[in-house]
Amino acid sequence: MSVLATLDWVIIALYFVIILGIAWWVIRQKNDTSDDYFLAGRNLGWFVIGSSIFASNIGSEHIVGLAGSGATDGVAMAHYELHAWCLLVLGWVLAPFYMRSKIYTMPEFLEKRFSAASRYVLSIISLIAYVLTKVAVGIFAGGIVFGVLLPEVSFMGLDSFWVGSILMILLTGAYTIMGGLKAVAYTEAIQTVILIFGAVTVTVYGLDALGGWGELKRIAGSEMFNLWKPLVPEGVEGTWEPVLTETRMAWYFNSNYPWIGMLFCAPIIGLWYWCTDQYIVQRMLGAANLTEARRGTIAAALFKLLPVFIFIIPGIITFALAASGKMPELAETLLDADGNIINANAQQVFPLLVAKVLPAGIRGLVVAGLLAALMSSLAGVFNASSTLFTMDLYSKFRPNVSERQLVRVGRIATAVMVVIGLLWIPVIQGSRGLYDYLQSVQGYLAPPIFVVFFFGVFNKRLNAKGALAAMLVGFTLGLFRLMIDTPVMLNEGFAYEEGSFFWIINNTFFQYYSLLIFLISALTMVVVSYATEAPPLEKVRGLTMSTVSDEQRAETRASVRTADIVVSVLVVVLILIAYGYFTG
């Protein structure tokens, strides 16, 4: 039976009317050129940029995965959310290079800095990564939310999981195909407000139902509030591999996030994601000027501090409500006989909390916020994918096509991603440990991209041959690990022979393997670059720190505002306070 009352449905319907109304208004605007369709005419303001970046990021993996991680691992995954400082790096360090280059995509920047081959490799890998991570995660989370909130819904033999997933894909795909980035960005600005209000409301009502913050810490225990997990978990003597339990894939989705992995690996993934991923940076590329671009990233950094409190903490609250016996129905759904969260059910904690603690009306608004996040994450990946395919692949092989044709191909590419999303549903129905899955796949693919972008900007001597070698070697290592992991993920009874080479690779904690990829990629880029000829000065002029002209430096300084500096410092201070507080 549905947990939603009539008033909830009225509010949800009103939300959809507003969102589709905004999308329709945008669609009716001029959208004939590639600038209009892919970069919103390069005329976005800072609030739209910041809220759009936040809404694209705070999608399904947070609603379903991050809250589930909070229930099983406490604040361990807050390390990733406290990487708001990476957005400051984007705004203060990389934005001047990107905005000066007038690029559409991140691979296009690699072509300007290195070579066309680098552009093609990154475009193809990015498209593959979007299917494996963002599309898959978005679809899966949509099905989970519908399955919890509308368990009895069925249509033509399809259960609520399928109905919810298909509806999310088709509805989001429709306005993304028609409106491009402008439709995505403006709807996400509204969705951000609804999402934040809704998630804060869940946290407040959840704490009230439990008895307050002190009661939460007492029931959950200090370890749930400890960001600094030990290198070797208690009771395990000197092992290099993560702790194995009876739970399938426990090494992969394990509850021990040692601080060394978080300290060195997580920033690599964070800087790749926030500073070089098309999915995020495309919003900033649509800015009217450098000041608006930088200010948008600062606003996004402030927003990014919220998920610790509006997703992780509600996950811990749900666990505490179940473990304390204050809500026996939660315990029946989420806990095993020993009182531990069942990993397969952890992904339901946020929608379950919404269903159990919120009154009618407010519950409808929060559900609208959940749908907003699901839609925004899918819209972002659809739009980013169409831009990558159209501007990095199609336009390079068909250089003389019209602007109208580029927009048409972009819409077709988006539609293809929608179809791929629909076909992917049965593959991901059995997925577990959503947030951990996402972070691990990104951990395998991010290091070589991080290396070529950051090393390339900071060292003018590194050349195209070094960049291409680093990407090919790094991606090969990452895809090799994915091939090793896949049989174990998909087949519950499958296991490699203990002590074999594949077993060692399969049982190495994903953050440590990610660090290995980073070190090998970095070494490859440096060695190959210095063993071959230096790039011509004209090739790198204005694209590295040491080749920026005095005029370009002056333009960058002129774009800086005192308020932006003050808010950036505030973001860093708030991050340090969080790290100081969450020590158990």
**Region of poorest pLDDT, from 28-32, 279-283, 512-516:** 28-32
User: For position 65, what pLDDT does the model report?
Assistant: 72
Q: Are 38 and 410 in contact (CB under 8 A)?
A: yes
User: For position 229, what pLDDT does the model report?
Assistant: 62
pLDDT digits (tens, 9 = 90+) for 520-546: 999 999 999 999 999 999 899 999 999
User: For position 437, what pLDDT does the model report?
Assistant: 66
Number of domains in the chain: 1
| Model confidence band, residue 35 (pLDDT cutoffs 50, 70, 90) | low
User: For position 249, what pLDDT does the model report?
Assistant: 34
23 is a domain residue: no
Q: Using the predicted structure, report yes or no on whether residue 432 has a pLDDT greater than 60.
A: no
Mean pLDDT, rounded, of the chain:
80
Q: How many other CB atoms sit within 10 Å of the CB of residue 377?
A: 29
Interval 21-41 mean pLDDT: 64
Supply the pTM of this predicted model. Answer: 0.79
28 is a domain residue: no
Going by C-alpha positions, the residue among 559, 491, 52, 579 that lies closest to residue 308 is 579
537 is a domain residue: yes
Q: Using the predicted structure, report yes or no on whether residue 568 has a pLDDT greater than 70.
A: yes
Q: Using the predicted structure, report yes or no on whether residue 301 has a pLDDT greater than 90.
A: yes
pLDDT digits (tens, 9 = 90+) for 103-122: 888 889 999 999 999 999 99
**Region of poorest pLDDT, from 181-195, 428-442, 485-499:** 428-442
| Model confidence band, residue 509 (pLDDT cutoffs 50, 70, 90) | confident
**What stretches of 346-391 show up as alpha helix (H) in DSSP?**
349-357, 362-387
31 is a domain residue: no
Interval 554-571 mean pLDDT: 94
User: For position 202, what pLDDT does the model report?
Assistant: 87
30 is a domain residue: no
Cα separation, 583 vs 70, whole angstroms: 15
331 is a domain residue: yes
| Model confidence band, residue 302 (pLDDT cutoffs 50, 70, 90) | very high
Please spell the DSSP secondary structure of 447-515, one letter per residue. HHHHHHHHHHHH-TT--HHHHHHHHHHHHHHHHHHHHHHHHHHH-TT--PPTTSHHHHHHHS-HHHHHH
Which range is most confident: 188-192, 245-249, 387-391?
A: 387-391
**What stretches of 102-159 show up as alpha helix (H) in DSSP?**
106-113, 116-130, 136-149
**CATH code at 412?**
1.20.1730.10
Q: Using the predicted structure, report yes or no on whether residue 390 has a pLDDT greater than 60.
A: yes
27 is a domain residue: no
User: For position 536, what pLDDT does the model report?
Assistant: 92
Q: Using the predicted structure, report yes or no on whether residue 431 has a pLDDT greater than 50.
A: no
User: For position 48, what pLDDT does the model report?
Assistant: 84
Q: How many other CB atoms sit within 10 Å of the CB of residue 229?
A: 21
Going by C-alpha positions, the residue among 442, 459, 465, 450 that lies closest to residue 118 is 465
Cα separation, 549 vs 527, whole angstroms: 28
Q: Using the predicted structure, report yes or no on whether residue 293 has a pLDDT greater than 80.
A: yes
User: For position 253, what pLDDT does the model report?
Assistant: 35
User: For position 426, what pLDDT does the model report?
Assistant: 60
| Model confidence band, residue 491 (pLDDT cutoffs 50, 70, 90) | low
Cα separation, 389 vs 384, whole angstroms: 9
| Model confidence band, residue 459 (pLDDT cutoffs 50, 70, 90) | very high
User: For position 392, what pLDDT does the model report?
Assistant: 80
Q: Using the predicted structure, report yes or no on whether residue 141 has a pLDDT greater than 90.
A: no
211 is a domain residue: yes
pLDDT digits (tens, 9 = 90+) for 336-375: 777 667 666 777 788 788 888 888 888 888 777 777 767 7
Q: What percent of the chain has a predicted confidence (pLDDT) above 90?
A: 24
3-class DSSP state for residue 158? Answer: strand
Which range is most confident: 187-191, 388-392, 563-567?
A: 563-567
User: For position 115, what pLDDT does the model report?
Assistant: 92
Residue with tokens 């949800």: 12
Please tell me which residue, 169 or 244, carries the higher pLDDT value.
169
**Region of poorest pLDDT, from 10-14, 214-218, 397-401, 568-572:** 397-401
User: For position 353, what pLDDT does the model report?
Assistant: 83
pLDDT digits (tens, 9 = 90+) for 241-278: 444 433 333 333 344 466 677 778 888 988 998 999 88
Q: What percent of the chain has a predicted confidence (pLDDT) above 70?
A: 81
The residue range of the domain holding 558 is 6-12+43-581
User: For position 458, what pLDDT does the model report?
Assistant: 94
Tell me the C-alpha to C-alpha distance, in Å, between residue 434 and each of 61, 68, 132, 207, 512: 7, 8, 12, 25, 19
User: For position 272, what pLDDT does the model report?
Assistant: 92
Residue 428 Cα to chain centre, angstroms: 17
User: For position 531, what pLDDT does the model report?
Assistant: 97
